[in-house]
Amino acid sequence: MAHVLIMPRQGNTVESCVIVRWKAAEGQGVGADEGLCEVETDKASFEVPAGEAGVLLKILHPEGDDVPVLAPIAVIGKAGEDWAAALKAATAPAGEAPRAAAPSAAPGPSAAPNASAASRPAPAASGSAPGVSPRARALAAREGIDASALAGTGPGGRVIERDLRAALAAGPGLTAAARAAVASGASAPRSGSALGGRVGIADLAAGPAAAAPGAAPGREDTRREALGQERFAETPLKSIRRIIAERMRASLAGTAQLTFNGSAKAARILELRARFKAAGPESGLAEVTIGDLVLFAVARTIPKFPSVNAHLVEGKLRVFERLHLGLAVDTPRGLMVPVIRNADLLSLRELSAEAKRLAAACAAGNVSPDELSGATFTVSNLGAFGVESFTPVLNAPEVGILGVDAIVNGVAAGPDGRPLLEPRMGLSLTVDHQIVDGAPAARILKAVADAIADIDLLLLK
Amino acid sequence: MSAYDVIILGGGPGGYLAAERLGHAGKKVLLVESGELGGTCLNVGCVPTKTLLNSAKLYAHAKEGSKFGVTATGLSYDWAAMQAWKKEVVEKLRGAIALTEKKLGVEVLAARGRLLGPGKVEARDAAGTSTVHEAPAVVIATGSTPIMPPIPGCRDNPKVLDSTGLLSVADVPKKLCVIGGGVIGVEFAGLFAALGSEVEVVEMMDEIIPFMDKEQAPVMRRAMKGVAFRLGCKVERIEGGTVFYRTKEGAEASCAADLVLMAVGRRANVEGWGAKEAGLDLGPKGLVVDERMRTNLPGVWAVGDVNGRSQLAHSAYRMAEVAANDILGGPDSNRMRYAALPWVVYGLPEAAGVGLTEQEAAAKGLAVKKAALPLRVSGRFCAENGFAAPGSVKVLADAADGRVLGIHLVGAYASEMIWGAAALIEQELRVADAKEIVFPHPTVCEAIREAIWAID
């Protein structure tokens, strides 16, 4: 019997995922552990393995579809096998969540979705799931709008009809032909060169055919560029980039951010790191980095200042008992912020191990969405890049974020009064001035700097 | 020296409309024109020809009225009175332009402008007084002039006229030879044929109106009764009123006429006002401009015939608005598009078109679906023109996405309905979309609807 691949569950909060890319085509052979498609939630992307070796008989959802978790997405089996029968057999009777492993479920006619029916989100995608409502989806298809690129205002960020209407009202729209082309897969910029700035056929994302022949710019082309007709590629912000864009904009628009720059004496932290390294692998400390030590200092210091271990939501300050430390991680897909839970309770070794695990998971794209939410204070470390000071942007609704800068040599007065070079680590603390005033912020920064300066003493506590 | 926001060189359709749009937006505009406001179009082009053509049509229709039950006796026309009416129309419309400019605060300077460089224009009036004016934006709208080709016997020959000269001849010629079967040649041929002149058109190409759809041009040509077309013929010399030409087969032939109209095209006016000296980029057809009508010089725009992109008054209007939008910092998407520029040939009958012809689509490698119908599918057309009247509508659509690519018409009212076809193409409507448009009944434009429905 063919294997029906389902959209795997991604943590407890994710109700649907978007299929970003199919890595195999129908009719192609696949291995059991081979990643068959890339899917994305609003927070991260993952690969879904085929699960069983065989031939990819049927792709049930095209790229871009938002599919509820546990819904069938593909059928894998032997070449020539009847995928529809397998799907029918594997799909539970209407009303129950589809289960791939139901071998002899009673086949009912309503439980045999064809490909086009399956490409619409099942009603199972509950109102609280982010995604696109059926009405919005229908309108989007009619108007040639990429609904998934819109910021949803429905429950849980779901894109609803209202969002589509707003997008239609805001943009100049598409010509009839462009709309039809977009409905069948072309992607359109927000405005174009047709009547009244409408998007016309010529504005649609050029396929390979359009770019190929006679593309060498002539004299006139070159001159046109000089006159402000630069060539460029335009793609709508999608998935993680779009989310980052929205969150950053929302953070800057919705808070009163203020950054304080200071520095910590770094002689001891450098010395400690050198000793850890020298201690060798058996010590269990050799992998502990400067960054981990800073996280430890933050984890021990921030709980002393409850007002920054907090969320500001709709006029209410929610102060947390435990510190869940957000860690800004640079990944090929963009910025991700996994969370070290209960960081205030972890030992240095535990903290270091958890930070490494999360960073690796983000880089590999298999971090659980549950691990990407719930931070109460965040650390963003750009020290390795030589950044000496910056203005970290709050990970709203958090009210504080610490930027860690490079260690540079500063000048201090030596014991004999003569100038002395001294390594110092820059620190850039951004707080929401709605909650934290200047003096308390300075105190927090000083406390963190002191903890870093005397990191060896902190470890003994 | 005085400062303006914008200085415009030339008071034709491109220049005066740019002045109006910019003046309306509150800019301080100086419009420099040494001749009359209105340019070629109003003074010696579109408007006077249509005025004369209307009289000719009245005369022609009255002559043919008997088949519709109206008989006129003692019918004649009065060329002098026609000329007087033409003069009145032109002068009144000119006055209207001057009034509009004045209302919008546009300063009109009767002087010859010269571009000294970006932002700097010298204006020399009839008395030879020169003033220099400065503005951050300069719009060049110096228009075009009829071409006098170097055909032996052409220069200083009082029998050879250009369109401007022919418009105000004292008498209607008994025999007119028109060199050039383009828009201007065909319009004058139709006008004088309707007034009873014997007209012969000598055209070098194999068909008249080169940009017309190759199925439609012959419809128009055959419908122009009283005009003999000599196609594929090359004029070799002119002696007095006799035009000597060589036929396609290589035979020598001639046409002895009272007057010869030289209508082989118009050339952009890029000389005499400092274009080269200022460093403006000149292409083979005129000033080189981009889609915003910007020239290579910062702060210098060029609109209308002078850039040679589309020598039509309404193209100049649109270019003027595109340039004004750019000067005013309007939406960047508001650029010049040439794909849906309608054109009209005021022959008897009229022809009009917009978008691609079948030949152009083929040259672009576009597969098309098409439908061509006689205008007899319109009840009104039959009622007003008879069942044998020439008329045709042709619609082309993209075979792949159904988008309407071109609409072409020959027949009465073509000029008045082509804008709708242009709107349809500009909006990139597909055949399926266009089918949902309601056309009024009974009208001739219903034929467009019929042709759209005839595309499968």
Structure tokens at B310: 């589309």
Interaxial angle between packed helices A161-170 and A134-143, expressed in degrees from 0 to 180 and rounded to the nearest 10: 30
Cα–Cα distance measured from residue B147 to residue B390, given in angstroms and rounded to the nearest whole number: 32
CATH of the domain at A263: 3.30.559.10
Mean pLDDT of A205-219: 41
In chain B, residues with a C-beta closer than 8 Å to the C-beta of A175 are 427-429
| pLDDT value at B280 more than 80 | yes
Q: Say if CB B140 and CB B301 are below 8 A apart.
A: yes
Burial of A267 (0-12, 13-18, 19+ CB in 10 A): middle
Question: What length does chain A have?
Answer: 461
**What is the enclosing helix (H) or strand (E) of A427?**
strand A419-432
**Does residue A226 have a pLDDT over 70?**
no
B337 has a chain A CB within 8 A of its CB: yes
Residue A141 has pLDDT above 50, yes or no: yes
Identify the helix (H) or strand (E) that includes residue B352.
strand B351-355
End-to-end CA distance of chain B: 65
Task: Return phi, psi of residue A374, to 5°.
Answer: 100, 10
Residue A102 CB-density burial (10 A; 0-12 exposed, 13-18 middle, 19+ buried) = middle
Instruction: State the smallest CA–CA distance between residue B341 and chain A in angstroms.
Output: 12
Query: What per-residue string of b and e applies to B293-323 under the rule 16 or more CB within 10 Å gives b?
Result: bbbbbebbbbbbbbbbbbbbbbbbbbbbbbb
Name the closest residue on chain B to residue A202, using Cα atoms.
B428
SS3 content of chain A, % helix, strand, coil (to 5): 35, 25, 40
Which among A180, A191, A196 has CB closest to B430?
Answer: A180
The residue among A118, A144, A166 that closes a domain is: A118
pLDDT-derived band of residue A331, with 50, 70 and 90 as boundaries?
Answer: confident
pLDDT band at B12 (very low <50, low <70, confident <90, very high): very high
Task: Please check the confidence at residue A227 and state whether its pLDDT lies above 70.
Answer: no
A256 CB-near residues (< 8 Å, 6+ apart): A432, A433, A434
What mean pLDDT is predicted for residues B245-272?
Answer: 96
CA distance B411 to B348: 8
Q: Look at residues A98, A118, A138 and tell me which one is the last residue of a structural domain.
A: A118
Instruction: Report the C-alpha gap between B391 and B223 in whole angstroms.
Output: 8
Q: Which of A178, A196, A223 has its CB closest to that of B428?
A: A178
Top residue of A227, A229, A231, A234 to mutate, by most chain B CBs within 10 Å, is A227
Average pLDDT over residues A73-94: 80
Task: Reduce the DSSP state of residue A439 to 3 states and report it.
Answer: helix
Encoding tokens for residue A153? Answer: 């205002």
Which ranges in chain B are annotated with CATH 3.50.50.60? 2-145+267-327, 160-264
3-state secondary structure of B373: strand
User: Does some domain include residue A137?
Assistant: no
In 3-state terms, what secondary structure has residue A308? helix
Confidence tier at A415 by pLDDT (50, 70, 90): confident
* Residue of chain A minimizing CA distance to B322: A196
Chain B residues whose CB is inside 8 A of the A172 CB are 333
Is B428 near chain A, with CB under 8 Å? yes
Range picked from A354-368, A412-426, B60-74 for highest mean pLDDT: B60-74
Judge: A194–B290 Cβ closer than 8 Å, yes or no. Answer: no
Backbone angles phi, psi at B340, to 5 degrees: -125, 40
Residue B136 CA to residue B257 CA, distance in Å, equals: 52
What pLDDT is recorded for position A380?
94
Name chain B contacts of A191, Cβ cutoff 8 Å.
333
Task: State the pLDDT at residue A222.
Answer: 44
Please indicate if any CB of chain B lies within 8 Å of the CB of A193: yes
Left if phi > 0, otherwise alpha if psi is -120 to 50, otherwise beta: which for B402? left
Answer yes or no: A405 catalytic.
Answer: no
| DSSP, res B250 | S
B88 vs A: CB within 8 A? no
Q: Is residue A200 within 8 angstroms of chain B, CB to CB?
A: yes
Cβ within 8 Å of residue A322, ≥6 positions away: A341, A342, A344, A345, A376
Q: Would you call A175 and B296 a contact, using CB atoms and an 8 Å cutoff?
A: no
Residue A31 CB coordination number (10 Å) = 13
SS3 content of chain B, % helix, strand, coil (to 5): 35, 25, 40
pLDDT of A111 reads 35
| Interatomic CA distance for residues A47 and A54, integer angstroms | 18
Closest CA relative to residue A49, chosen from A66, A62, A31:
A31
User: With 70 as the cut, is the pLDDT of residue A136 above it?
Assistant: yes
Is residue A314 included in any domain, yes or no? yes
CB contact under 8 A, A195 and B426: yes
Chain B neighbors of A178, CB-CB under 8 A? 428
| Range A427-451 average pLDDT | 95
- Provide CB contacts within 8 A for A337, sequence distance 6+: A326, A327, A328, A329, A372, A375, A378, A395
Mean per-residue pLDDT for B41-49? 96
Under an 8 A CB cutoff, do A223 and B296 touch? yes
d(CA A150, CA A139): 13
Question: Which residue type does A7 have?
Answer: M
Specify the DSSP class assigned to residue A304. G
CB contact under 8 A, B429 and A176: yes
Residue A207 has pLDDT above 70, yes or no: no
Chain A nearest CA to B10, separation (Å): 24
In a domain, A377, yes or no: yes
**In what helix (H) or strand (E) does residue B146 lie, and over which residues does it extend?**
strand B144-146
Kindly calculate the radius of gyration of chain A based on its CA atoms and give it in whole angstroms: 27
pLDDT of residue B42: 96
pLDDT of A87 reads 84
Summary mean pLDDT of chain A: 80
Q: For residue range A2-50, what is the model confidence (pLDDT) as tens digits?
A: 888 888 877 766 778 888 888 888 888 888 888 888 887 766 777 888 8
Give the homologous superfamily in CATH for domain B349-454.
FAD/NAD-linked reductase, C-terminal dimerisation domain (3.30.390.30)
In a domain, A445, yes or no: yes
Within 8 A by CB and 6+ apart from A206, the residues are: none
**Token pair of B311, please?**
């020598």
Q: Residue A184 has what pLDDT?
A: 73
Nearest alpha carbon to residue A288 among A267, A269, A264: A269
Q: Give the ipTM of the model, two decimals please.
A: 0.71
Mean pLDDT score, B274-291: 95
Residues on chain A touching B323 (C-beta within 8 angstroms): none
A99-108, A131-140, A200-209, B341-350, range with greatest mean pLDDT:
B341-350
Q: Which residues contact residue A460 at a Cβ distance below 8 angstroms, ignoring those fewer than 6 apart?
A: none
List pLDDT tens digits, range A98-115.
444 333 333 333 333 333
Pick the residue from chain A with its C-alpha nearest to B405. Answer: A177
Q: Is B279 on the interface with A (CB under 8 A)?
A: no
Pick the closest to residue B97 from B185, B15, B217, B205 (CA basis): B15
Active site residues of B: 441
Tokens of A122: 């099942």
Domain presence at residue A26: yes
What is the domain range of residue A285?
A: 256-460
Instruction: Say whether pLDDT at A170 is over 80.
Output: no
Write the residue in A193, A201, A220 that is nearest to B335 by C-beta.
A193
What residues of chain B lie within 8 A of the CB of A201, using their CB? 401, 403, 428
To the nearest whole Å, the CA of A222 is away from the closest chain B CA by: 12
CA A427 to chain centre: 25
Residue A143 lies in a domain: no
Residue A235 confidence (pLDDT): 67
Please report the number of interchain residue pairs, chain A to chain B, with beta-carbon separation below 8 angstroms. Answer: 55
Q: Dihedral of CA A81/A85/A88/A89: which sign? A: negative
- Which of A71-85, A272-286, B338-352 ranks highest by mean pLDDT? B338-352
Asked if residue A216 has pLDDT above 80, the reply is no
Contact B94, B42 (CB under 8 A): yes
Helices marked H in A80-133 — which ranges?
83-90, 115-118
B329 touches chain A (CB under 8 A): no
Contact A227 B334 (CB under 8 A): no
Output the furthest CA–CA distance in chain B (Å, rounded): 68
Closest-CA distance, A157 to chain B, in angstroms, reads 32
Q: How far apart are CA B325 and CA B318, in angstroms?
A: 10
Domain count along chain A: 2
pLDDT of residue A134: 77
* pLDDT tens-digit map of A236-257: 676 677 778 888 888 999 999 9
User: What integer is the mean pLDDT of A194-198?
Assistant: 83
**Residue in chain B lying closest to A176 (CA):** B429
In chain A, residues with a C-beta closer than 8 Å to the C-beta of B288 are 220, 223
Q: For residues B86 and A410, what is the distance between their CA atoms, to the nearest angstrom? A: 89
Given a contact cutoff of 8 angstroms between Cβ atoms, the answer to whether B135 and B7 are in contact is: yes
| Side-chain half-sphere CA neighbours of B189 within 13 A | 34
Q: Of A58, A90, A118, which closes a domain? A: A118
A119-136 average pLDDT score: 53
Which pLDDT score is estimated for B311? Answer: 95
Label residue A312 by pLDDT band (50, 70, 90): very high
The whole-angstrom separation of Cα A18 and Cα A40 is 5
Pairing between β-strand A66-68 and β-strand A16-22 as defined by DSSP bridges = antiparallel
A177 vs B: CB within 8 A: yes
- Record: fold of B2-145+267-327: FAD/NAD(P)-binding domain (3.50.50)
Inter-chain touch A175–B428, beta carbons under 8 Å: yes
Partner residues linked to A75 by β-bridges:
A4, A58
**B297, B333, B405, best to mutate vs chain A, most A CBs in 10 Å:** B333
Give B232→chain A minimum CA distance, Å: 33
Of B188, B186, B218, the residue nearest B372 (C-alpha): B218
Interchain pair B401, A176: CB under 8 A: no
Please report the pLDDT score of residue A303 as a whole number: 94
CA atoms of B297 and B385, how far apart (whole Å): 53
Please identify which residue in the block is written with the tokens 């904009």. A249
Q: What percent of chain A has pLDDT over 70?
A: 82
Which residues are within 8 A (CB) of B96 and not within 5 positions of it... i.e. 6 or more apart? none
Cβ-contact A49, A33 below 8 angstroms: yes
Q: What is the pLDDT of residues B96-149, one digit of tens each?
A: 999 999 999 999 999 999 999 999 999 999 999 999 999 999 999 999 999 999
Tally of CB atoms within 10 A around B421: 27
Q: Which residue has the higher pLDDT, B1 or A115?
A: B1
Nearest to A178 by CA among A165, A192, A168, A167: A192
Residue among A177, A192, A223 whose CB faces B403 most closely: A177
Give dist(CA B303, CA B137) in Å, integer. 13
**pLDDT cut 90: percent of chain A above it:** 33
Instruction: Note the pTM of the prediction, 2 decimals.
Output: 0.59
Q: What is the pLDDT of residues B47-99, one digit of tens each?
A: 999 999 999 999 999 999 999 999 999 999 999 999 999 999 999 999 999 99
Residue to substitute from B300, B309, B428, B452, interface A, most A β-carbons within 10 A: B428
Q: What fold characterizes domain B160-264? A: FAD/NAD(P)-binding domain (3.50.50)
* DSSP symbol at B451: H
Domain presence at residue A24: yes
Contact list in A for residue B291 (CB cut-off 8 A) is 229
Residue B293, classed as helix, strand or coil, is: coil
Question: Looking at the domain assignment, is residue A417 inside a domain?
Answer: yes
The answer to whether A276 and A285 are in contact (CB under 8 A) is yes
Q: pLDDT > 90: what percent of chain B?
A: 96
CATH code for the domain in which residue A114 is found:
2.40.50.100
What rounded mean pLDDT belongs to chain B? 95
- The yes-or-no verdict on residue A333 having pLDDT over 60 is yes
| B267 SS3 class | strand
For chain B, the C-alpha Rg in angstroms (whole number) is 23
Cα–Cα dist B447/B437, whole Å: 13
Query: Three-class SS string for A39-86?
Result: EECCCCEEEEECCCCEEEEEECCCCCCEEECCCEEEEEECCCCCHHHH
Q: Which of A82, A330, A370, A433 is catalytic?
A: A433
pLDDT at B343: 97
